[in-house]
Amino acid sequence: MKLGVDLGTTRTIVATADRGNYPVVTFYDGDGEAHEHLPSVVALDDDRLVFGFEALAAARAGAPLTRSFKRVLAAPDVTAETPVTVGTRQVPVLELLTAYAAALRTALVEQSSLSEELTVDSELQAAVGVPAHAHGPQRFLTLEAFRRAGFTVVAMLNEPSAAGFEFTHRRRREITRNRTRVVVYDLGGGTFDASVVDVAGTHHEVLGTVGLNHVGGDDFDLLLADLAAESIHQRVDDLSAPDRDDLLEQARELKEHLSPQTRRLTLEVAGTEVGVPVTAFYGRATPLVEQTVDAMGPLMGDADDHVDELHDVAGIYLVGGASGLPLVPRLLKERFGRRVHRSPLPAASTAIGLAIATDDDAGYSLRDRLSRGFGVFRELRDGEAVGFDPILGRTDVLEPSGCRTATRRYRAAHDVGWYRYVEHTDLDEHGGPTGDLVPFAEVLFPFDPVLRDGRDLTRVPVQRRDDGPLVEERYTLDEHGIVQVRITDLDSGYSQVHALRADG
């Protein structure tokens, strides 16, 4: 079975490839009600972690519930062991993600519209989405969780790139000889991404990407919940956990069903019905939307050499559950003056595009790019200074074959090499990393053969030497955007391989 899986901050949506069609999978809750998503939530039921609809049912019975745990992945210092609080437990994020992915697999087999076609032993080939602005640890943890949960991950695509497939599949006539590009605006539950995609038939090439890791639908939900609570002189944080969860869920539902004609939103706060004027909500929400519009500036001509004009842009395509705010297309139109299209299935657009990516018969292809640069800090002048060596650029292409490489060779000048890797969103005028920096990994390599006995190199004072070996660093960027480095002493053949990922 071929699936597209959009692991969302609030909801996970799955689509399947079925003879040129890409239907969204239906999941059934404990009452047999149908939903086109599985909630991305976890609860602690006694001492057992439960997920999805089972978690919501447990929360209604008083179990502590944790929403939006995916947002932990956006932290610059996230590792496999980063804890997520679920009730009284601290669960390592990779363990939690793996358990959620396993629960998703079980739900597909036992409680979905695919259940009659699947067994517990069925192979599930999945294309999995990640935010375009995701850093390396975020990509690795997502990939590793689905693999550990029993999915065969055949592709990992940036979410707006996948939504570009859905645009072309659904609105092929919008792409003309003179207008070959679409700007995908993806405002999900926890993140915002935008990409410019050039389309030639079924071939897609991403020309540029921007993103915000900490702006998403959750933030709009909280704004609306705050307004409702304030109207009865309450604070959301002061409500009981069940009342707070219920209020945020109401806010989410109302936000996603807003129309330009809506004038007032009615919510219940701890048993009291209140009304919030839409104008008040828009007043609070406008700065958040403006952040996303401002972030798009480089894509729309401010800095990206590939997209310095708008005449060949067919339109701006809105996807993601939070993109339904009428405020979004209005501000985009005012700023950029281009046609704005909203996907008829905005929350499912990415999952559908991912399903298309698994369909060999559809013939879709993608040339994607990194959204972050990657490099290493090195010691200079016997440790008196530190320099930065850019290795991969934020616009470097992700090759489907996973064969993109970069190589460095030099004569070692110390007994120990200490490599401090970071990801970055930009370089300053001196070539140093700037913008959104993510410390990525530290690798220590013994240039002196005497030190290759397994000792703790962090306790070895780095010393200058004049007879160091010839060293080669060979970096490989795979199709998922994950980097591996092989460091080799070319004089002796001694080598180490490091997958530069969340846990170093």
pLDDT digits (tens, 9 = 90+) for 194-207: 999 999 999 999 98
Q: Averaged over 157-177, what is the pLDDT?
A: 90
Low-confidence winner among 113-127, 353-367, 392-406, 481-495 (lowest mean pLDDT): 392-406
Compare 503 and 166 and report the one with higher pLDDT.
166
Q: Which of 83-97, 278-292, 375-389 has the lowest mean pLDDT?
A: 375-389
Whether pLDDT at 336 is above 70: yes
8 Å CB contact between 341 and 323 = no
- Return the percentage of the chain with pLDDT > 90, whole number: 63
Residue 472 has a pLDDT of 97
Angstrom distance (rounded) from CA 255 to CA 264: 12
Residue type, position 503, single letter: D
**What is the C-alpha separation between 184 and 60, in angstroms, rounded?**
37
Mean pLDDT of 272-292: 95
Q: Write down the pLDDT at residue 168.
A: 92
Which pLDDT does position 304 carry in this prediction?
Answer: 40
Stretch 348-369: mean pLDDT: 93
**pLDDT tens-place string over residues 283-307:** 999 999 999 999 998 888 643 444 4
pLDDT tens-digit profile of 195-246?
Answer: 999 999 999 999 888 888 788 989 999 999 999 999 999 999 899 888 888 8
**What fold, for 370-500?**
Substrate Binding Domain Of DNAk; Chain A, domain 1 (2.60.34)
Specify the higher pLDDT residue, 102 or 334: 102
Note the pLDDT of residue 287.
96
How does residue 393 score in pLDDT terms, banded at 50, 70 and 90?
A: confident
pLDDT tops 90 at residue 163: yes
Report d(CA 301, CA 313) in Å as an integer: 11
Q: How much is the pLDDT for 161?
A: 93
Per-residue pLDDT, 303: 35
Residue 35 in this model has a pLDDT that exceeds 60: yes
Mean pLDDT score across all residues of the chain: 89
* pLDDT for the residue numbered 401: 63
Q: Is the pLDDT of residue 25 over 70?
A: yes
Strands 89-92 and 373-380: unpaired
- Contacts for 283 with CB less than 8 Å, ≥ 6 apart: none
Range name among 330-334, 346-350, 362-366, 368-372 with the lowest pLDDT average: 368-372
Q: What is the pLDDT of residue 307?
A: 41
Q: Under the phi-then-psi rule, with left for phi > 0, alpha for psi from -120 to 50, and beta for the rest, what region is 156? A: beta
Does the pLDDT value for residue 44 go beyond 80? Answer: yes
Pick from 61-75, 151-165, 254-268, 395-409: least confident: 395-409
pTM of the full structure: 0.85
The yes-or-no verdict on residue 448 having pLDDT over 90 is: yes
pLDDT tops 90 at residue 310: no
Instruction: For residue 272, give every residue at least 6 positions away whose Cβ sits within 8 Å of its Cβ, in sequence order, or none.
Output: 232
Q: Which of 14-23, 205-214, 395-404 has the lowest mean pLDDT?
A: 395-404
Average pLDDT over residues 65-89: 91
Whether residue 15 contacts residue 359, with contact meaning beta carbons closer than 8 Å, is answered with: no
Q: Where are the domains of the chain?
A: 2-215+288-368, 217-287, 370-500
Q: Which residue has the higher pLDDT, 386 or 98?
A: 98
Let me know how long the chain is.
Answer: 504
Tell whether the model's pLDDT for residue 423 goes beyond 80: yes
Percent of the chain with pLDDT over 70: 95
pLDDT for the residue 211: 85
Buried b (16+ CB within 10 A) or exposed e, 287-314: ebbeebbebbebbbeeebeebeeeeebb
Of the chain, the end-to-end C-alpha distance in Å amounts to 33
> Would you say 218 and 72 are in contact if contact means Cβ atoms under 8 Å apart?
no
Q: Is the pLDDT of residue 385 over 80?
A: no
Q: Which residue has the higher pLDDT, 86 or 311?
A: 86
One-letter amino acid of 433: P
Token pair 């690795």 is found at 140
pLDDT for res 153: 94
* pLDDT for 504: 40
pLDDT for position 257: 85
Q: Is pLDDT above 60 for 356?
A: yes
- Alpha carbon distances (Å) from 441 to 51, 199, 419, 498: 31, 36, 8, 10
- CA–CA distance, 438 with 40 (Å, rounded to integer): 25
- CATH-assigned architecture of domain 2-215+288-368: 2-Layer Sandwich (3.30)
